[in-house]
A = this chain, B = another copy of it.
């Protein structure tokens, strides 16, 4: 994760010296905390997949919208709640209590800086529910306005051509989209020769107990076989990944523009 510090962008909060924090960070500033993960992503993608996406998305957003929206990016947290991969030994995971305590500590610190708006930019789906919990805890404990966004777009905001992959909406971990984005962002880290389809089509028989169904269910990655990924990365391309990533940055920009002016009337 070696950063290139000599040609650094200027919207990294940690690049500031302390007096600059006091001078530049205020109630209108938006602090972005990227949440990565170091976890197995099947045979074809690197452990750093979610880290790369969150980290690169935060940088891209800061570059495109940073000056207009007063964005400040914190370093990406590398180790998060990846315990759905606990049974597959190529993952670094922390439990929910430690993850929540870490987010609370960052929130406390951000509030102390004089900032009021904190955005969790989450690259790992397994973090989403607990990060959502954290949004409320940080608002309650530290008075922050808190937000949760992701570097992927729902179909309504996508301009990518429809994938030929037969994922039936179940390409949720190392599937077509994520693989495409990594092919775009870090092609050297992808082993397309190892890419295989691992789509749990048996779930389609269910109307309710399925991904996105009305009944949620607890699952671990190895519940879907030993490969570790869920989806069909075989048709992934860097071109599709570029479109998706660009779409995501555009959507993040639109979200952050709204966040910039957001506040509760009762405050």
Most chain B beta-carbon contacts within 10 A, residue among A8, A36, A59, A157: A8
- Closest 8 A-B residue pairs measured CB to CB? A135-B218, A75-B78, A14-B48, A139-B218, A146-B218, A5-B186, A18-B40, A21-B90
Residues from chain B with Cβ under 8 Å of A207 in the complex: 254, 258
> Of B43, B112, B114, B206, which one neighbours A18 at CB under 8 angstroms?
B43
A145 is contacted by which of B18, B100, B217 (Cβ under 8 Å)?
Answer: B217
Could you say which of B3, B113, B223 contacts A55, with CB atoms under 8 Å apart?
B3
Asked whether A69 is an interface residue with its Cβ less than 8 Å from the other chain, the reply is no
With A98-B98, A110-B92, A133-B133 given, is the CB distance from A215 to B264 under 8 Å? no
- Which one, B19, B47, B258, contacts A206 given CB within 8 A? B258
In the assembly, what is the distance between CA of A138 and CA of B96, in Å? 12
Q: Across the interface, name the chain B residue whose C-beta is closest to A216.
A: B148
Give chain B residues whose Cβ lies under 8 Å from the Cβ of A224: 264, 266
Least CB separation from A113: chain B residue: B89
A13 touches B147 (CB 8 A): no
A185 interfacial contact with B, CB 8 Å:
yes
- When the two chains form the complex, which single residue of B93, B135, B144, B254 contacts A105, counting CB atoms closer than 8 Å? B93
Q: From A63, which residue of chain B is reached at the shortest CB distance?
A: B2
Does A223 lie within 8 Å of B267, measured CB to CB?
Answer: yes
Q: Is the interface of A mostly helix, strand, loop or mixed?
A: mixed
For A220, list chain B residues within 8 Å (CB): 136, 139-140
Task: Answer whether residue A251 sits at the interface, using C-beta atoms and an 8 A cutoff.
Answer: yes
Highest count of chain B CB atoms <10 Å: which of A5, A48, A114, A187: A5
Task: State the interface size on chain A (CB cutoff 8 A).
Answer: 123
Within 8 A of B (CB), among A2-21: 2-9, 12-19, 21
Q: Say yes or no for A159: interface residue by CB 8 A criterion.
A: no
Are A188 and B6 in contact (CB-based, < 8 A)? yes
A189 touches B254 (CB 8 A): no
Interface: A162 (CB within 8 A):
no
User: Given the interface contacts A43-B17, A105-B79, A220-B136, does A154 sit within 8 Å of B214 by beta carbon?
Assistant: yes
A41 and B21 form a contact (CB under 8 A): no
